[in-house]
A and B are shown apart, each in its own frame.
Chain A
Amino acid sequence: GAEASGRKWEQKQVQIKTLEGEFSVTMWASDDKK
């Protein structure tokens, strides 16, 4: 999968901005291996 293409899945903190306000959640996204 992502590992084979030189990338790895990482947990990322992302912001959500709705009419009721802003909050953050932790999601998975792939990124270049550092």
Chain B
Amino acid sequence: TRTGQDAFVMGFDWGNYLRERNHRAAPVSCFKHAPLFDQWEDVGVGMKVEVINNDAVLPSKVYWIAYIVKLAGYKALLRYEGFEGDTSHDFWCNLGTVDIHPIGWCAVNSKLLVPPQTVHQRIRDWKAFLTKRLVGAKTLPVDFYIKMADSMKYPFRQGMRVEVVDKAQLSRTRTAVVDAVIGGRLRLLYEDGQGDTEFWCHMWSPLVHFVGWSKRTGHEIKKFEKKKDMANHPTFRKIYCDAVPYLFKKVRSVYTEGGFFEEGMKLEAIDPLNLGSICVATVHKVLLDGYLMVGMDYSETPGGADWFCYHASSHAIFPVGFCERNKIDLTLPKNYDKTSFSWPKYLEDTASKPAPSRLFNMDCPSHGFEAGMKLEAVDLMEPRLICVATVRRVVSRLLRVHFDGWDEEFDQWVDCESSDIYPVGWCEITGYQLQPPVSADEST
């Protein structure tokens, strides 16, 4: 079991980690839900900025001009002007956090630009040197940090009620109240107060819904005594309200003309209890608004307590044969093995039919992820934890995420547009704790 650790307290540094192993990081432009996604096209290698001069012996804070040598998520490797090919003073900065400004900011704010002492004597005419280096070059947009602040405003706030999957029984929802919002991630407390009441998910997660969603779609919801609910809790009493439907991510509309998913149809689905597995699965129930209750065929849990709700447009369900076509190990039903299982035979054995492939949402955007790229990813089995991770495999829009230092058995499949994966440096920007790689020598 993972226990929470703070990567920065443990001495983990993304810059060193990437440099020592020559790793690449997935660019911010891969993450639609991340702050500055819309602005990231304005940022690139070679771009000039004004940044604190750490190579000065003056009593007051002074600045100097630097340029981006390399980008890794939100982190930028910077080199001061004047160092030319000398990499000895290169340093990593998080473009979302530190004192980095567009060229011209110092003059406007009465700050002085002073060359680093290491190179002060190297160049005789700094004005001529800087003019040559800066004219025609690119700099950060002046509204960069305004846009960033805008992209970090979230519509959810403490005290809002939602319906969210019951982690103790996946086939039903439970009402919960928002306790905290960090970087769009919600810390929820189940209202009934029973068992482990904490649950974390992103506000755009398919696991969280508006109050009334379960009744509307026909999904099971856990009932509890109203008098014990959070409306009476001293923290939430005054700020209590239902989160309204427009705050949640809209699901794609489904059209049922010409046939839709039916009870008993077979498919392949990511196992919600083991996100590294894709299983032979069955549609057990068709709810309203395009939602399906899907069960993994290996399961012997009685009463469908581990059925899981997927929307028909979900990228976590696939037509039969998907795994075989993409050379992914398919988790088989009990009493079958690789030699005895084939889809045609299984359909015959179970007198069932496959869900038609036209019903699945198989579009694939040009997402930009490649195997080997580093990122920060939620451990979905312990969703309060965000870990140092690697894209191990890319299958169309599906990513196999490996948690650095952990055994392969902990790998998880996620969609390329999942709101549970983030660029390198996201935790630093939002103040969320990052879990370092498990082995001490990998983390420092």
- Using a CB–CB cutoff of 8 Å, the interface residues on chain A facing chain B are 1-2, 4-5, 7, 9, 12, 14-23, 25-32
Contacts and interface: CB of A to CB of B under 8 A. Distances in A.
B42 A18 contact: no
Interface in B281-317: none
Given A16-B107, A18-B112, A25-B130, A31 B137 contact: no
Contacts of A9: 138
B141 A14 contact: no
Contacts of B182: none
Contact of A30 (B48, B113, B134, B141): B141
Contacts of B134: 14, 16, 25, 27
A14 B105 CA distance: 9
A5 B138 contact: no
Contacts of B141: 7, 29-31
A20 B138 contact: no
Nearest to B39: A5
A30 B136 contact: no
Interface hub of B102, B104, B113, B142 (most chain A Cβ within 10 A) = B104
Main secondary structure of the interface of A (DSSP, over half): strand
B402 to A, nearest CB: 32
Nearest to B41: A1
B262 to A, nearest CB: 41
Contacts of A7: 41-42, 141
A19 B139 CA distance: 22
Given A20-B127, A31-B143, 10 more contacts: A15-B108, A16-B103, A16-B104, A17-B107, A18-B112, A18-B113, A18-B115, A27-B136, A29-B102, A29-B140
Contacts, number: 84
A12 B130 CA distance: 16
A2 to B, nearest CB: 5
Question: Which 9 pairs of residues, A with B, have the shortest CB-CB distance?
Answer: A14-B104, A15-B107, A17-B107, A30-B42, A25-B134, A28-B138, A1-B41, A30-B141, A18-B113
B126 interface: yes
Contacts of B42: 2, 7, 30
B106 interface: yes
Nearest to A26: B135
A5 B103 contact: no
A18 B126 contact: yes
Nearest to A25: B134
B88 interface: no
B106 A27 contact: no
A25 B110 CA distance: 17
